[in-house]
A and B are shown apart, each in its own frame.
Chain A
Amino acid sequence: MSAVTNAHDHQEAHNGHELPYSAQLRNNRMALWLFCFSEIFMFGALLSARFVLWGNARPELSQVVGLITTTVLLLSSFFMNRAESAIAHDDRKTFLSGLLMTAFLGLLFFIGVVVLEWNIFGLKLELFGVEWFGHLKPTDGVLGGVFFAMTGLHAIHVFSGIVLILIVWNNGRRGHFSAEKHWGIEATAIYWHYVDIVWVFFYPALYLIGKVG
């Protein structure tokens, strides 16, 4: 069989061995969606833990802070989308500013969770009749445990999303990506929207459902 004896002659022809871009892109997309599907089970595990352990109760949290952080995060998805469609039209300026805006809003959300809700600096401020810094502690029974686990797991995802956005921004700034080839941006955008959507489920579970108890 020629397939066997000529093994090494064919080696050369294979040196451009990586998959063609279109095939690789299709694989990348499928893999990312599969990863998102996979993570549903992790977020789902935590969400079901909330319903098992809290039932119809929820901790006392500032509704204003929760609403503001949620709005900020949802708004960031809009700018992410703007950035992605801008690079698809080779509009580099809107693309870069959209990314920065997304990262900025993501960072605001992150600070809102860590500094305001978690109150890691132990601050106190009452303004406009709102308590801006939370007083729930990680060790406050299951209310604290589940709250810090859910917000913490989500915050880790937001943080890694911000890092991805900054990586993409830095490369975009230096002229990488084009209207045809911008998988890095597409992936970051999908990931960012995904993390947002997770919060759409976490937010009511933490802030809205059940009675303060």
Chain B
Amino acid sequence: MGTLRIIATSGLIRGLIGQAIGAALGFGFVTLIRLGMGLESNPEPGAVFGALTSVIGFLAGAGVLTDWSKWALGKETPLRHGPQPGKPEWARYLHVDYNHKVIGIQYAVTSVLVLLVGGIFAITFRIELSLPGMQFLTYEQYNTLFSGHGIVMIASILLGVGAMVNYLVPLMIGASDMAFPRLNAFSYWVSVPAAVLILTGMAIGGWDTGWVAYPPLSLIAPLGVQLFVLGFFVNGFSSIAGSINLLITVATMRAKGMSLFKMPIFVWAAVAAALIQATATQTVGMALLMVVTQRVIGLNFFDPATGGDPVLYQHLFWFYSHPVVYVFVLPGLGVISELLPVFSRKPLFGYRWIALSSLGIALVGFLVWAHHMFVAGVDNTLRVFFMYATMFVAVPTGVKFFSWVATMWEGKLSFETPMLFVLGAISVFLIGGVTGPILGNIPTDMHLHDSYWVVGHFHATMFGGFVFPFFAALYYWYPKFSGRMYKESLGKLHFWLMTPGFWLMSLGQMQIGLLGMRRRVADYDPSLGYDTTHVVITVAGLIIGWSVLIMAYNLISSARSQPLAGNNPWNSRSPEWQISSPPPEFNYDVPFEVVGEPYDYGLAGSVYIRMDPSSSGE
């Protein structure tokens, strides 16, 4: 079979065709009914229904629903595994596959692709912003680009979290797969049509609400906002299904002897993030549905003229959208805690505190959402409560910083690319961390709200808490999932371009924020004196963009040309490094048993796991 033929008949392409058919059928159905009822012509109801049917079309076309439909008809289906019959190994990645490692890589590749798309949006409007006045974008295009950048990057981060969690957690706890492999495939594949909806929304009219979709603006925005909101909503299915799957997997499928406090620390972070995803996602889903129904059916929630309340949307929205920041950040911080002992050759300092601080951050994260609404007319007592609660987040976060420093203290540090990115992550997350309390304080927030200070702050938390650790994870586990070592020189080049680039960008954003630059505006007054800084920010952004392309090139080209890495190039104690690279189809041919502490690096005679329990003398 030719390569082209394999791609053309893959689950991905069949899914996309299914999505197009589903969209056409749904749109046509509603539009015909409206025509028959003699209603005025309005493409929106058809577009909304078509968007929903398009997702079903994609899932059916890709083959995600096949097994479940057979079950409904009373047929049993065996769990299909291994490569696609008669096709090369790589074809698996374009098909619905139930192996968690395949799904993890599907997540990772999609995440990086989506990251590049969101990055192109950012670069485009950054170039526009490098000079005052409008250069080559219209106001509408600018609005659509920054709105799209926000939601597309969030989609990318969620995919990246899915990648790490899916690939690593079953390996780390000694499971052969996730608890529900078919649901796992669903979680990945449903995020693809969601991304398609968001991008389509940008193409057909765009929207100008940012990624938050606040009413009343989202109620009067162009049609594109509907597809964006629905794409956002559909992506929620991925989060909820994926997190439930993960929680059950960790609860029931751990290796013998692996009590909760003997799990690799990343698993704790994944669990804390999943707890947020499984619950808070529902409230933002509801908020988004309310916007959709108010626009299409006229159900009123947010129009004050007939008793509605736009602030209600903000409450429901931030009840998810603050905690979701920890869905991004906790797995990232988990990677930092996971890698530091390996590259410091020392035990992780305060394992239990780190583990519990992840849960602590997740729980406190549910009590701070209204700090995004200090200027929205929220009741004063409520504001004060949320101010103090917000400050309280610093406590469990501080625990992590303290532990990282103590872990490195007097360690035998080595500085390969993953370690560099971990250190970069800590430095950047520190910038994000210390600039946060100023926004959590009501008086200072009232000055800085909606300014570039906020932009600088949250890009620092996102890069430090997710992007840097994610890149560290890609480099670190690259020899595990590809079997080969990446090119160290290119990895270092990537780091030394991206890290100073990011510092520059982030600090520049905060500086112009202090000087009065507003977020989400396409133009600014040159007399305010920050047009030079805008150029610096744009150049720094370009450097970051190029450095990510270097990483993409490195990871792609090294998969063929680089020497084999061996099973455990980092000399790690974690279970996934004790088996072949890449791991066998079902991970552990012989189940292992946990007999010691996970992070006792450098302690003579300490053992974490024993690969073959039969030799232990029972």
Interface residues of A, Cβ cutoff 8 Å to B: 1-4, 6-8, 10-11, 14, 17-19, 23, 26-27, 30-31, 34-35, 37-42, 44-46, 49, 52-53, 138-139, 141-146, 148-149, 167, 170-171, 174, 176
Contact B307 A34 (CB under 8 A): no
- Asked if B299 is an interface residue, CB under 8 A from chain A, the answer is yes
**CB of B240, distance to nearest CB on chain A (Å):** 6
Contact A142:B308 (CB < 8 A) given known A2-B612, A34-B248, A167-B72:
yes
Contact B590 A2 (CB under 8 A): yes
Contact A146 B286 (CB under 8 A): no
Interface residues of B, Cβ cutoff 8 Å to A: 72-74, 78-79, 81, 176, 179-180, 240, 244-245, 247-248, 251-252, 278-283, 285-287, 289-290, 293-294, 297-301, 306-309, 312, 315-316, 319, 567, 578-580, 584-586, 588-590, 611-612
Contact B307 A170 (CB under 8 A): no
Contact A42 B286 (CB under 8 A): yes
Contact A38 B240 (CB under 8 A): yes
Which of B72, B245, B285, B312 interacts with A52 by CB under 8 Å?
A: B312
Closest partner residue, chain A, to B71 (CB atom): A184
Contact A141 B279 (CB under 8 A): no
Contact A138:B297 (CB < 8 A) given known A30-B252, A34-B278, A45-B316:
yes
**CB of B586, distance to nearest CB on chain A (Å):** 5
Contact B300 A18 (CB under 8 A): no
Give the CA-CA distance A3 to B587 in the complex, in Å. Answer: 10
Contact B244 A41 (CB under 8 A): no
Task: Please give, as numbers and ranges, the residues of chain A lying within 8 Å of B244 by CB-CB distance.
Answer: 31, 34-35, 38
**CB of B592, distance to nearest CB on chain A (Å):** 9
Closest partner residue, chain B, to A54 (CB atom): B307
Task: Please give, as numbers and ranges, the residues of chain B lying within 8 Å of A52 by CB-CB distance.
Answer: 309, 312, 315
Contact B298 A139 (CB under 8 A): yes
Which of A4, A10, A37, A145 interacts with B300 by CB under 8 Å?
A: A145
Contact A148:B299 (CB < 8 A) given known A31-B180, A35-B244, A45-B286:
yes
Give the CA-CA distance A117 to B586 in the complex, in Å. Answer: 54
Closest partner residue, chain B, to A11 (CB atom): B585
Task: Please give, as numbers and ranges, the residues of chain A lying within 8 Å of B319 by CB-CB distance.
Answer: 45
Contact A42:B298 (CB < 8 A) given known A3-B579, A11-B585, A170-B74:
no
Contact A30 B248 (CB under 8 A): yes
Contact A53:B588 (CB < 8 A) given known A18-B78, A31-B179, A170-B74:
no
Give the CA-CA distance A44 to B294 in the complex, in Å. Answer: 19
Give the CA-CA distance A49 to B283 in the complex, in Å. Answer: 11
**CB of B235, distance to nearest CB on chain A (Å):** 15
Give the CA-CA distance A42 to B308 in the complex, in Å. Answer: 19
Task: Please give, as numbers and ranges, the residues of chain B lying within 8 Å of A44 by CB-CB distance.
Answer: 283
Task: Please give, as numbers and ranges, the residues of chain B lying within 8 Å of A138 by CB-CB distance.
Answer: 297-299
Give the CA-CA distance A176 to B72 in the complex, in Å. Answer: 11
Give the CA-CA distance A141 to B303 in the complex, in Å. Answer: 8
Contact B585 A14 (CB under 8 A): yes
Give the CA-CA distance A149 to B297 in the complex, in Å. Answer: 10
Give the CA-CA distance A41 to B279 in the complex, in Å. Answer: 6
Contact B586 A17 (CB under 8 A): yes
Contact B567 A4 (CB under 8 A): yes
Give the CA-CA distance A93 to B610 in the complex, in Å. Answer: 53
Give the CA-CA distance A138 to B319 in the complex, in Å. Answer: 26
Which of A2, A14, A34, A53 interacts with B247 by CB under 8 Å?
A: A34
Task: Please give, as numbers and ranges, the residues of chain B lying within 8 Å of A39 by CB-CB distance.
Answer: 282
Contact A42 B579 (CB under 8 A): no
Give the CA-CA distance A163 to B390 in the complex, in Å. Answer: 45
Task: Please give, as numbers and ranges, the residues of chain A lying within 8 Å of B245 by CB-CB distance.
Answer: 31
**CB of B43, distance to nearest CB on chain A (Å):** 20
Contact A38 B299 (CB under 8 A): no
Task: Please give, as numbers and ranges, the residues of chain B lying within 8 Å of A46 by CB-CB distance.
Answer: 286
Give the CA-CA distance A30 to B179 in the complex, in Å. Answer: 11
Contact B580 A7 (CB under 8 A): yes
**CB of A150, distance to nearest CB on chain B (Å):** 10
Task: Please give, as numbers and ranges, the residues of chain A lying within 8 Å of B289 by CB-CB distance.
Answer: 149
Give the CA-CA distance A171 to B73 in the complex, in Å. Answer: 7
- A41-B280, A146-B299, A171-B73 given. 15 additional CB < 8 A pairs? A1-B611, A3-B579, A4-B580, A7-B584, A8-B584, A11-B584, A18-B78, A27-B180, A30-B251, A40-B282, A45-B287, A138-B297, A143-B307, A145-B293, A145-B308
Task: Please give, as numbers and ranges, the residues of chain A lying within 8 Å of B578 by CB-CB distance.
Answer: 1, 3
Contact B306 A142 (CB under 8 A): yes
**CB of A164, distance to nearest CB on chain B (Å):** 9
Give the CA-CA distance A142 to B301 in the complex, in Å. Answer: 6
Contact B282 A45 (CB under 8 A): yes
Contact A7:B309 (CB < 8 A) given known A27-B179, A37-B279, A46-B286:
no
Contact B300 A17 (CB under 8 A): no
Contact B589 A10 (CB under 8 A): yes
A-B pairs, 10 with minimum CB distance: A141-B306, A41-B282, A42-B282, A145-B299, A142-B307, A10-B589, A45-B286, A145-B300, A139-B298, A7-B584
**CB of A9, distance to nearest CB on chain B (Å):** 8
Task: Please give, as numbers and ranges, the residues of chain B lying within 8 Å of A4 by CB-CB distance.
Answer: 567, 579-580
Contact A31 B248 (CB under 8 A): yes
Which of B79, B297, B309 interacts with A18 by CB under 8 Å?
A: B79
Contact A17:B176 (CB < 8 A) given known A10-B589, A145-B299:
yes
Some 16 contacts from A to B, beta carbons below 8 A apart, are A1-B611, A3-B590, A7-B589, A14-B586, A17-B81, A17-B586, A27-B180, A37-B279, A41-B282, A46-B286, A53-B308, A139-B297, A143-B307, A145-B293, A145-B294, A171-B74
Give the CA-CA distance A187 to B526 in the complex, in Å. Answer: 64
Contact A144 B301 (CB under 8 A): no
**CB of A60, distance to nearest CB on chain B (Å):** 15
**CB of B287, distance to nearest CB on chain A (Å):** 7
